[in-house]
Chains A and B, each alone.
Chain A
Amino acid sequence: MKTDRRNFIKGLGGALTLPFLESTAFAGQKSATRFLVVGNPFGMHPEHFFPKDFGKDFTVSRTLKSLDWVKDRTTVLSHTDHNMVSGHGREVAFLSGVLPTDAQAFPEKNMSVDQAVARHTGAQVRYPSLNVGLNSGVRMSWTANGVENELITDPEKLFDHLFLNLTEKEKEQRRQMLSRNGSILDTVGDQFADVIKNGSKSDAERIDQYQTSVRELEATLANRTHWIGLDKPEFDISDHYSGEVTIENEYNAIFDMISFAFETDLTRVATVAFPTNLGYTDVPGVTRSYHGCTHNGKMEDVTDELVAIESFQVQQLSRCMQKLDSIPEPNAEGSMLDHTVVLFGSGMGYGGTHSNRDLPIFVAGGGFKHLGHVDTRNDAGENMPLCNLYLTLMQRFGMERDEFNISTGAFDLSYA
């Protein structure tokens, strides 16, 4: 299944000139700007995922081999969890720590961390977030209303979504809707303006809040009308389909489109969800099903297949990170990777034991002062809630908050 990798990627780096940047960039921004999340459904074989030693100079484990190049910009977290009972089905809480069935107990329901960040960064770009899978994907991205985000599960559809322009008729319809909303705001915006002017004490404050909202919304309507008129950046996908269709090629296409969408500022938040039911047999050495490999009864050959699948997943991400690292961040020091928070993990610890403790998690890039391999347990030997890490990541985006679902504090990861 080996294809000529060089030929495959050519369409991107070489052929393209400096990409057109969609939004008005981020000059002087100190926070992280982008968020890339990759998740899988069955966790990771722990002995091969977690490095044997701790600290900055840790020995890269077998599954994480492809991250060797970026080891000093990576933090692998041992002993985190969401305090979930064992078994499948809890992995849907990967990015929130809250099961859909418990969502009502939380004001932000089971909103996942990617969506929390997207709400913070999304207003400035065409797409607040991008949620991608292949064939399908583990369910992990949920809105503040506890609604699952629909995945784009086909690279071609992803291409259409990101890069295909609307027809003139469609553009016209969108424009009309935005203009209708504009007219409505126009008629209601200054109801009670006299109340504010005449200073009726307690009304004024809340009505002012309303009017501010009207003004802000009007501004974004104008902004969005602007997006409709603008053509999207051009992306040449043809090379990605010139070779054999393997899952590696498809993931290459997906990750290339994501990094290009980052580069052109189409979006600042992307999630890639690995599915349960994908045939990994074109990965060298893999003959069994993914789920089957997790129940390996500790047989070495089956375990090797599982590790091959898991390493493949990490490789795809590593390749994308390499790409981001080759692009200088516009208007700032460092590469795009240094401004992109990368999160990899699963809401399941390890499929073989159905354990949902000790989740396999690493964070890379994002300008953090990375710690290598960390044991996150406290003095009492208890695992750290994974939400603590999410809180830290949100703070990295300049979000002023000190709690996220079941967090008990922030994970200590500083940045320059």
Chain B
Amino acid sequence: MRKFQSTAKNPILMGVGLNRVRSVIVPCWVMMSTLFGPVGMADQALMKEHCFDCHSADKTKGKFELSFLGDGPDVDNLERWLDCLDLVTAEEMPPEDDSHLAAPDREKIIAYLDEKVRAFEKSANLTSSPKPRRLNNREFANGVRDVLLLEDIGTNLPMDNLIGDALHHGFDTHGDTLSFSRFHLEQYVEAVRKVVDATVFSGERPESKRYEIPAERIFRQQLSQNNSRAIEKGENGVFDFLDPKLAGYFPDFEEAPASGRYSIKISCMGKDRGIYDVEETGYYHDDPVQLSVHMGDRVKTFDLPDEKVIELELDEWIDAGTRVEMHFPTDAYTIRGNGNFKFQYGITPTHLKKYDPERYDELVSAIEKSPGRNKRKRIDTWHNWTDYWMGARPQVFSVEIEGPLYEAWPPKRQVALLGDSPVAANAADILRPIANRAWRRPVKDGELEKIVDMVKEEAKTMGDIVALKEGIVAVLVSPAFLMANLEANEPASRFASKLSFFLESTIPDQELRDEVGAGKLDSFEAVQKLIQSEIEKGTADTFLREFPFAWLELNDINFMGPDPEHYRFYHKKRLSEDMVDEVLEFFRYAVTENRPVPELLSADYSFINADLAKIYGVEDVPGDSKFRRYTFKDGRRGGLLGMGAFLTSTADSLATSPIHRAVYVMENMMGIHPTPPPPNVVIKEPDVRKASTIKEILAAHVSDENCASCHEAIDPWGYAFENFDPTGAWRDVYVVPVILETDENGDPIPSKKKDVTIPIDSSAKFRNGFKYQDITEFRNEILTDTNRDRFVKCFIEKLLTYANGAEPEESDFVAIDDILTKSAEHDYRIVETIAAVVNSPLFRGK
């Protein structure tokens, strides 16, 4: 059973997934004297002088004894050595308060530790080689598409039955997490068969038909529990989109009768844009009215002109059984009440009273005279105004669908796959190129034999075409297709595959395989050029989206979303989607402009739209939903650490936790993995109803010396963000909120109870003596050379995790350091850093 990775949410679980076992070590300092050869003698004495007071068997601060370092680095204690190296380099050890280690002495210790680690790694030759892994669902779908030479896998949702992939710290490429079971296998068979069935036809060419659909034959989808209500449909020649949650569908064309091309024409326009106030509707005046056509999971969206009828034309391959629907894509019309659309009708009287009182009076008297109105209700209540809506929306007047249409029969794509003579006798020749693509390598002698035999056998009873289709299914459910990074493959095939899955999440094309085969991608420069060109061509878009999404664990953003009663705007305007988009826009910019990696943290800019501007408290942005680069002038935001995505996903619903934020920054930015608290520690949950600050609560916890030694290292990474509330908005004080009751419309009932406010202290001090007062100071000074290297290294490790399906091992330290050096040679430019990762033995394999 798959488990949910709760990551930083639960401090007890923090780091559990890291498989970092702190092994039991020889518990005796005395041994040390025999360990270090003449080279290390002086440095050993230095370490003893500066470390032993706190890290002996008597006093194991941070649960570390110097003796843990044992007889020099070995497989078991290597991580200890690396931790020491990291902490001494960062001047966090020895802590500033307790010891005064002169700079030259520190250098000596660093050099000593570094040399020991490198010598060990060289002799042990431990560079890890990741295990093969199952393709995840994205890669599987893309792979099937490309093996079968299709534009996409089809609109009949063939992958819908696949079991969702579990994530490992955000990564959906993690080998140990991607389980394989008979359920997976069976669902692969079903899914592939569904795609193949929609690609290869064995029957007669289906008749084409024209469907002329007037507005009156466009029905509104019923989503309510109450299905006894009459079906709503277009009237008087217009199908009007009111509630954006409801789609328009066609009872005369419930679903595509056969797979083929369909021509769809929609006569429509944008209506009533810019009438109601943005504050009432959440609809920005500068956002065009849009209409989306959904064909299964394929969506095409169009901007509609205002008050001018146009005809949209679509020419699409649609698979049998696909439902065609029209949607009004917007996050607006949820501000009033609990967000249900009906409450928005109440905007009309508010608007008219303000801008057109005459019309208001006119309508009020009409409403009062009309029969059946519920007179007991206030006149302005939404019930009375359902006929007078003037919100921006699309209107559709008629639709015409024609199809299925084919340029030839059998269709071209079928011939491309099966050739001109699709008979079982040719099975080997037909299946070989398909298997060559699917298996990402030349097919070996005899390898197809069993499948070809099956095709020939099945052909006797099912006919040639159906039997060939079974053969294709077999090729696509074989382990050579379903498993990535198989060692049994030649190094060239493996590298081409890996590169293609890394950048495009799909199988490599022949061109890439040829280039790799001819040794054209053997150098750093060649790899750099290839990545650069893929980014420019847009073929690396998958990477630009999937990698930051995994690395920054964006999937978790609503795992514990802000409280819906208290942070209504966040939920009503679906801010989490904007926050995720902000990260992706920012990352895409950084890569396409090839900015230095550290700028991801140090940037004073980001990409925001009007909704995010509202959360971030900035006003000089255009009023629409488009993302634009924005430079923050207050020194508080910009880059990944100022983003709502980080600040929200690390907060609880009503309160923030400096610990969660600190652990996120340490794990995902600094590559530091704090030790989880021992299981018997009871951590008091912050109680937002009481007037105490998180700092006071933590102070009590940290008064225990055992807790203190770790928290001294963790907490300063988090306090800086205390001025950001659970949605990432700025606050000067903590507010202990009064949660309002709601009335029958879901609107809050005003109350005289007042929120309590408490001042925020966002200052902290690191163990190395660096102090900061607030976020501005933190941001200005945090990126020291050490922390810059930590961040770039962490970025490298995350890239390797994404590519290899496994986190790098401690023993990869030297190879990672080499990548860092290469990156530094190129001013840490992102593209060169990625190229250095791809060119590393950690990516290429031995």
Contact = CB atoms under 8 A, between A and B. Distances in A.
A187 B483 contact: no
Contact of B558 (A102, A119, A214): A102
Given A87-B340, A188-B479, A105 B555 contact: yes
Given A354-B742, A403-B6, A206 B131 contact: yes
Interface string A86-101: 1111000000000000
Interface stretch (A50-58, A73-81, A106-114): A106-114
B556 interface: yes
A188 B453 CA distance: 12
Interface string B1-35: 11111100000000000000000000000000000
Given A184-B470, A187-B451, A354-B746, A202 B189 contact: no
Given A187-B451, A213-B180, A85 B338 contact: yes
Contact of A206 (B337, B483, B744): B483
A207 B484 CA distance: 11
B164 A108 contact: yes
B584 to A, nearest CB: 15
B182 interface: yes
Contacts of B165: 107
Interface stretch (B223-231, B270-278, B391-399): B223-231
Interface in B149-193: 160-167, 175, 179-186, 189
A309 to B, nearest CB: 15
B454 A186 contact: yes
B458 A188 contact: no
A200 B487 contact: yes
A217 B340 contact: no
Nearest to B129: A202
A205 B134 CA distance: 12
A104 B227 contact: no
Contacts of A89: 340
A210 to B, nearest CB: 5
Contacts of B161: 145
B175 A206 contact: yes
B329 interface: no
A200 B555 contact: no
A3 interface: no
Contact of B134 (A139, A206, A214): A206
Given A138-B225, A195-B488, A403-B3, A206 B180 contact: yes
Nearest to B172: A107
Interface string A393-404: 000000111111
A207 B489 CA distance: 13
Given A107-B2, A207-B483, A181 B225 contact: no
A216 interface: yes
Contact of A107 (B134, B166, B457, B742): B166
Nearest to B4: A403
Contacts of B337: 87
A200 B3 CA distance: 30
Contact of B182 (A216, A275, A400): A216
Contacts of A41: 225
A181 B186 contact: yes
B72 to A, nearest CB: 27
B653 A83 contact: yes
B733 to A, nearest CB: 23
B620 interface: no
Chain A: interface residue count, which band? 35 or more
Contacts of B557: 105
Nearest to A111: B164
A399 B167 CA distance: 20
B186 A217 contact: yes
A85 B182 contact: no
A147 interface: yes
B254 to A, nearest CB: 16
Given A108-B2, A206-B175, A213-B180, A184 B189 contact: yes
A277 B228 contact: yes
B186 A105 contact: no
Interface string A133-169: 0001011000011110000000000000000000000
Contact of B477 (A109, A116, A146, A184): A184
A298 to B, nearest CB: 13
Interface string B201-221: 000000000000000000000
A127 B38 CA distance: 73
B483 A183 contact: no
Contacts of B225: 41, 88, 136, 138-139, 275-277
A210 B227 CA distance: 46
Contacts of A104: 555
Contact of A105 (B130, B180, B182, B558): B558
A210 B487 CA distance: 15
A186 B555 CA distance: 38
A380 B685 contact: yes
A138 B337 CA distance: 23
Interface string A264-277: 00000000000111
B479 A217 contact: no
Nearest to B574: A101
A105 B488 contact: no
Contact of B454 (A184, A202, A220, A406): A184
B480 interface: yes
Contacts of A107: 2, 4-5, 164-167
B474 interface: yes
Contacts of A291: 226
B482 interface: yes
B1 A191 contact: no
Nearest to B690: A380
B644 to A, nearest CB: 15
B473 interface: yes
A187 B450 contact: yes
A147 B160 contact: yes
B474 A184 contact: yes
Given A188-B474, A203-B487, A213-B182, A85 B564 contact: yes
Contact of A136 (B134, B166, B227): B227
Contacts of B488: 192, 195, 200, 203
A318 interface: no
A60 B547 CA distance: 56
Q: Which of B183, B225, B228, B450 lies at the interface centre, i.e. has the most chain A CB atoms within 10 A of its CB? A: B225
B556 A217 contact: no
A84 interface: yes
A347 to B, nearest CB: 12
Given A86-B338, A87-B338, A214 B4 contact: no
Given A192-B480, A202-B129, A84 B564 contact: yes
B58 interface: no
Contact of B473 (A145, A184, A192): A184
Contacts of A108: 2, 4, 164
A17 interface: no
A399 B227 contact: no
B473 A202 contact: no
Contact of B132 (A85, A202, A399, A406): A202
B234 to A, nearest CB: 25
B565 interface: yes
24 contacts: A87-B746, A88-B340, A107-B167, A108-B164, A119-B183, A144-B163, A145-B162, A145-B163, A184-B470, A187-B451, A187-B454, A191-B478, A192-B479, A202-B487, A206-B133, A210-B482, A210-B483, A213-B180, A216-B182, A275-B225, A277-B225, A277-B226, A277-B227, A354-B746
Interface of B: 1-6, 129-134, 160-167, 175, 179-186, 189, 225-228, 337-340, 447, 450-451, 453-454, 457-458, 470, 473-474, 477-480, 482-483, 486-488, 555-561, 564-565, 571, 653, 685, 687, 742, 744, 746
Given A188-B474, A220-B186, 20 more contacts: A87-B746, A88-B340, A116-B1, A144-B163, A145-B161, A147-B160, A183-B454, A184-B454, A184-B470, A187-B474, A188-B451, A200-B487, A202-B487, A203-B132, A210-B483, A216-B181, A277-B225, A295-B744, A402-B3, A404-B4
